[in-house]
A and B are shown apart, each in its own frame.
Chain A
Amino acid sequence: MFDLDRWQEIYHVLRKNKLRTFLTAFGVFWGIFMLVIMMGSGDGLKNGVSQNFGDMATNSVFIWAQQTSVPYKGFTRGRQFYYENADVRALDEAIPEIKYLAPRTNVGGFNGASNVIRGLKSGGFQIFGDYPVFDSIDPVNLLQGRFINEIDIKEKRKVVVIGLRVKELLFEKNENPINQYIQVNGVYFNVVGLFKSKRTGEAASNDNQRIHMPFTTCQKTFNMGDAIGFFNITSKDGIPVAVVEEKAIRVLKKRHSVAPSDDAAIGHFNLEVEYKKMVGLFFGIKVLVWIVGIGTLFAGVIGVSNIMLVVVKERTKEIGIQRALGATPWIIISQIITESVVLTTFSGYFGLTLGVGLLELINYLLESSGAGTEMFLHPGINFSVAVVSLAILVVAGAVAGLIPARKAVSVKPIDALRYE
């Protein structure tokens, strides 16, 4: 198997017509190169979009209140209503499929005017009133201190957990923000935690400008009564959040005298549906990439098979000599198949290496320039895919050599010897 003569023969055959060998090899090279690039890009796209989810529970739904659009029970249409604390227990009791239920309030709009002050520094941030359970739905990286806890809720403590950007804007570089005070809408709060988003890109910079305070504190301090801004709910494992969504909307409609047919009154956003759409999209992309990639690769392999046929034909006489001297059909067949596999694997390996190299380069450029992180992140293929592709190449090479090899031994030795 590893006799030098075998490799000498392969070397000779491949070298004899360099251009032809190169063109044949290029077919396979291009096939695997394209497969790698397309797969890597697909992954990059997926990573880019997935980053917007961070570690957020994807089986979650947001529900908020809007204006009614249907007159009902003596109310006219266009009524603005609010959720209240009693809704929480009602939802919890009515819907056993709920895993986490996080009522939330918010103060101040997005990117609003300056609402937080510390000494001479100030900034405009998003301010949320949250329960500790929120950290289970949309976790953050705590850099220092802690998140809101139950005692904060119970005692309505004036404490906040701030995002990294908030700290950067309100504190000196080396300053420790924990136990310091900041003024939110004119009220002093003690900083108990500092966090960093688990997302990347723009999503992350939004996250890092958030300030969380205890839900109860928020309601009381900013005179919200027992109004709730919105609910963030997740379903138990294995249950589609749409089930919870539908039930919750029904319960809330009933409690707030909203017509069952009024679809505009209650705003809701099902993250799971969006997530599934995206997962489906990326699955589709993946399938497409494999079909196109394998197709291209297949074309390359057919090229190899074709050229091996020509090579076998050119070498008919030589193969005849070998057979006259006692080469068994198996020796001839395995020789030709080895040639085919070597040609395929070498060129394929080259394509694989170059493809991965190019992806690494793109990755490096993206990272060093900081560009394109919104849609495209860490393009690359995983190791097992590379190994599988190589295995496919070896098998494909063997298959490509099979027909020519059989052709080589199908003629009688004398006819091969006589061949001019």
Chain B
Amino acid sequence: MIDISNIHKTYITGSNKLHVLKGIDLKVEAGEMISVMGASGSGKSTLLNILGILDNHDHGEYLLSGIRIENLNERKAARLRNKYLGFVFQSFNLVSFKNAAENVALPLYYQNVKRKKRNAIAMEYLDRMGLKEWAHHLPNELSGGQKQRVAIARALIGKPKVILADEPTGALDSVTSQEVMDILTDINKNENITMLIVTHELDIAKRTQKTIRITDGLITEIIKN
């Protein structure tokens, strides 16, 4: 599903150059659930952003579901994100003035699905997350766990092939974190959606099939859980 080889990324700020990714090779099969660990600043988020086509890599090759990701224009990149990828962020990133259902429905809006239809679908996904009653609440009326479940529903609604989650439990307490992981493993099992989860917590990583350790811009260890 994901096939990257020799990926390099250097950040340039003013006269400073920061070589963050120094040749990453990774193959992720369809349906795999993988966690990414590593010290702060080791380049985990950088890697995930490149995989999410939110940022571009300087060197190397990236194939997403067989499609070569290189020098895409923003329109194509947006289409690919919409079709293949779902994002879950540490800080939820819900749109503040849209209620839960409208937030979930957003990816379908960009596919030009009619409002009525996409809101009905959004209700289904919210129902699966146990949030039907909260559909018409704005994000600031929801708890952290609820927000993250809305975000997961939003990531799922476009039927993506891959879900990229950057510290999805980073802002949640341990009980809620486990609940969110329950949902994610469930989705991975039942819908065969490939998952990459960046985390700092060992017990979260343990719930995935493989853990990749990044040290100083390189993959230094792959552990089977």
A325 touching B107 by the CB < 8 A rule?
Answer: yes
Bound complex: CA of A322 vs CA of B102, how far in Å? Answer: 12
Check A318 for interface membership: any CB of B closer than 8 A.
Answer: yes
Interface residues in B74-111 by Cβ distance below 8 A to A read: 74-75, 77-79, 81-83, 87, 89, 93-98, 102, 106-107, 109-111
B75 touching A322 by the CB < 8 A rule?
Answer: no
A3 touching B97 by the CB < 8 A rule?
Answer: no
A328 touching B75 by the CB < 8 A rule?
Answer: yes
A414 touching B106 by the CB < 8 A rule?
Answer: no
9-residue interface stretch from B18-26, B48-56, B175-183 = B48-56
Residue of A nearest to B112 (CB): A3
A328 touching B54 by the CB < 8 A rule?
Answer: no
A326 touching B75 by the CB < 8 A rule?
Answer: no
Residue of A nearest to B93 (CB): A321
Interface residues in A104-132 by Cβ distance below 8 A to B read: none
B192-213: CB near A (< 8 Å → 1, else 0) gives: 0000000000000000000000
Bound complex: CA of A4 vs CA of B102, how far in Å? Answer: 11
The one of A4, A9, A326 in contact with B115, judged by C-beta atoms closer than 8 angstroms, is: A4
Instruction: Say whether, besides A3-B109, A5-B102, A417-B54, A327 and B93 are in contact (CB < 8 Å).
Output: no
B111 touching A326 by the CB < 8 A rule?
Answer: yes
Residues of chain A contacted by B55 (CB below 8 angstroms): 412-414
Residue of A nearest to B77 (CB): A413
Bound complex: CA of A34 vs CA of B107, how far in Å? Answer: 45
A-B contact number at CB 8 A: 73
The one of B54, B75, B111 in contact with A413, judged by C-beta atoms closer than 8 angstroms, is: B54
Residues of chain A contacted by B93 (CB below 8 angstroms): 317, 321, 324, 417
Residues of chain B contacted by A3 (CB below 8 angstroms): 109, 115
A326 touching B95 by the CB < 8 A rule?
Answer: no
Residue of A nearest to B49 (CB): A414
A324 touching B95 by the CB < 8 A rule?
Answer: no
Instruction: Say whether, besides A327-B78, A328-B79, A322 and B97 are in contact (CB < 8 Å).
Output: no
A326 touching B158 by the CB < 8 A rule?
Answer: yes
A329 touching B78 by the CB < 8 A rule?
Answer: yes
Check A12 for interface membership: any CB of B closer than 8 A.
Answer: yes
Interface residues in A1-49 by Cβ distance below 8 A to B read: 3-5, 8-9, 12, 16
Residue of B nearest to A323 (CB): B78
Instruction: Say whether, besides A3-B109, A4-B115, A417-B93, A326 and B102 are in contact (CB < 8 Å).
Output: no
Check A330 for interface membership: any CB of B closer than 8 A.
Answer: yes
B26-57: CB near A (< 8 Å → 1, else 0) gives: 00000000000000000000000100101110
The one of B78, B94, B96, B97 in contact with A326, judged by C-beta atoms closer than 8 angstroms, is: B78
Residues of chain B contacted by A330 (CB below 8 angstroms): 75
Residue of A nearest to B154 (CB): A325
Interface size class of B (residues with CB under 8 A): 20 to 34
Residues of chain A contacted by B158 (CB below 8 angstroms): 325-326
Bound complex: CA of A409 vs CA of B73, how far in Å? Answer: 12
| Min C-beta distance of B206 to chain A, whole Å | 28
Residues of chain B contacted by A325 (CB below 8 angstroms): 81-82, 87, 106-107, 110, 154, 158
Most buried by A among B52, B74, B77: B74
Instruction: Say whether, besides A324-B81, A414-B49, A409 and B74 are in contact (CB < 8 Å).
Output: yes
The one of A4, A322, A409, A417 in contact with B106, judged by C-beta atoms closer than 8 angstroms, is: A322
Residues of chain B contacted by A169 (CB below 8 angstroms): none
Bound complex: CA of A9 vs CA of B96, how far in Å? Answer: 11
A327 touching B52 by the CB < 8 A rule?
Answer: no
Check A331 for interface membership: any CB of B closer than 8 A.
Answer: yes
Residues of chain B contacted by A322 (CB below 8 angstroms): 95, 106, 110
Residues of chain A contacted by B154 (CB below 8 angstroms): 325
Bound complex: CA of A322 vs CA of B75, how far in Å? Answer: 13
Residues of chain A contacted by B102 (CB below 8 angstroms): 5, 8
Residues of chain B contacted by A414 (CB below 8 angstroms): 49, 54-55
| Min C-beta distance of B109 to chain A, whole Å | 6
B54 touching A324 by the CB < 8 A rule?
Answer: yes
| Min C-beta distance of A315 to chain B, whole Å | 10
| Min C-beta distance of B83 to chain A, whole Å | 8
| Min C-beta distance of A321 to chain B, whole Å | 5
Bound complex: CA of A330 vs CA of B77, how far in Å? Answer: 13
The one of B75, B79, B109 in contact with A5, judged by C-beta atoms closer than 8 angstroms, is: B109
| Min C-beta distance of B21 to chain A, whole Å | 14
Bound complex: CA of A137 vs CA of B43, how far in Å? Answer: 93
Interface residues in A296-352 by Cβ distance below 8 A to B read: 317-318, 321-331
The one of B54, B109, B110 in contact with A412, judged by C-beta atoms closer than 8 angstroms, is: B54
| Min C-beta distance of B41 to chain A, whole Å | 15
Bound complex: CA of A405 vs CA of B121, how far in Å? Answer: 31
The one of A317, A318, A324, A326 in contact with B79, judged by C-beta atoms closer than 8 angstroms, is: A326
Instruction: Say whether, besides A3-B115, A413-B54, A326 and B49 are in contact (CB < 8 Å).
Output: no
A sample of 13 more A-B contacts (CB under 8 A), given A9-B97, A323-B78, A412-B55, is A4-B115, A5-B109, A318-B95, A321-B93, A321-B95, A322-B95, A323-B81, A325-B107, A325-B110, A329-B74, A412-B54, A413-B77, A414-B55
Q: List 21 A-B contacts (CB under 8 A).
A: A3-B115, A5-B102, A5-B109, A12-B97, A321-B95, A322-B106, A322-B110, A324-B81, A325-B107, A325-B158, A326-B82, A328-B79, A329-B74, A329-B78, A412-B55, A412-B56, A413-B74, A414-B55, A417-B54, A417-B89, A417-B93
What residues make up the interface of A, taking CB atoms closer than 8 Å to B?
Answer: 3-5, 8-9, 12, 16, 317-318, 321-331, 409, 412-414, 417
Closest 3 CB pairs of A and B: A326-B82, A414-B54, A12-B97
